[in-house]
Amino acid sequence: MKFFLHVPLIRLTSLAGVLAFCLLSPVAAQVQLPGSSNQVQPIDPNDPNTLRPTGQNNSLLSIDGGKRLMTEASNAVSSQNYDTAAKKLQEARIVFNQLSNFYQDLNSSFSGIDNRVADTQRKKALETAQMRDEATYQLALVHRAQNKPELAVPLLIQIIKSQNPTRDLGKKAYQQLLELGFVDTPARGGGATSSTPSPAKK
């Protein structure tokens, strides 16, 4: 009788072991984030337990990363691959917008504490905001080429709001609205161009 009682117990123990192995084995797999590479991050010899990020040239969340996306979009436009161009330009807009937000946050954090750092971050926030607006303008042109004015119009209005109608990119955006027939009053030329783009769109 004791023999028959131990058989199910052995089977259950074996089954539990198999299940535990199956559940634990995926833990060894590495999660691959979208857009990340298999390149190992360098280790700081002074602190081997802390991974240093790779140089900005290898990072998507960098000015160089955004510029690479813009170049890829330009190449796609040259090949009349507008879907790819739109995707790359949208990604570039996100990158530049995030960078602008981050630099603006750093500017706010250092304002009144270290004005030299704050001023540098403010300039970077404006620089990346300008790049974001340029990517937005190119995306609007791609949507025009795709015969999708309903997607182009909101982008053009965003540019005008960010840039100011007196700046070069703002003027170009308004001209596009005019050509699309969304507006029917030509803007007057001239005017001061001292306005700067909005540093961030959170």
Task: Report d(CA 189, CA 169) in Å as an integer.
Answer: 13
pLDDT band at 189 (very low <50, low <70, confident <90, very high): low
pLDDT band at 104 (very low <50, low <70, confident <90, very high): very high
- Ramachandran angles phi, psi of 51, nearest 5°: -80, 135
Q: Which two tokens stand for residue 103?
A: 């630099």
Is residue 35 within 8 A of residue 58, CB to CB? The reply is: no
Which one-letter DSSP state was computed for residue 113? T
Does 38 score more than 70 pLDDT?
no
- The stretches of 146-193 forming alpha helices (DSSP H) are 149-163, 168-180
Q: Which of 184, 182, 186 is nearest to 149 (CA)?
A: 182
Tens digits of per-residue pLDDT, 113-143? 999 999 999 999 999 999 999 999 999 999 9
Average confidence (pLDDT) over 43-48: 43
Tens digits of per-residue pLDDT, 132-185? 999 999 999 999 999 999 999 999 999 999 998 989 999 999 999 999 999 988
Does 89 score more than 50 pLDDT?
yes
Task: Report d(CA 199, CA 76) in Å as an integer.
Answer: 28
pLDDT band at 17 (very low <50, low <70, confident <90, very high): very low
Is residue 200 within 8 A of residue 93, CB to CB? The reply is: no
Q: Helix, strand, or coil here: 51?
A: strand
Rounded to the nearest 10 degrees, the angle between the axes of helix 168-180 and helix 149-163 is 150
Q: Which residue has the higher pLDDT, 185 or 53?
A: 185
Does 190 score more than 90 pLDDT?
no
pLDDT band at 60 (very low <50, low <70, confident <90, very high): confident
Task: Report d(CA 34, CA 40) in Å as an integer.
Answer: 16
Indicate the average pLDDT of the chain: 75
Predicted TM-score of the model (pTM): 0.66
| 183, burial (CB in 10 Å: exposed 0-12, middle 13-18, buried 19+) | middle
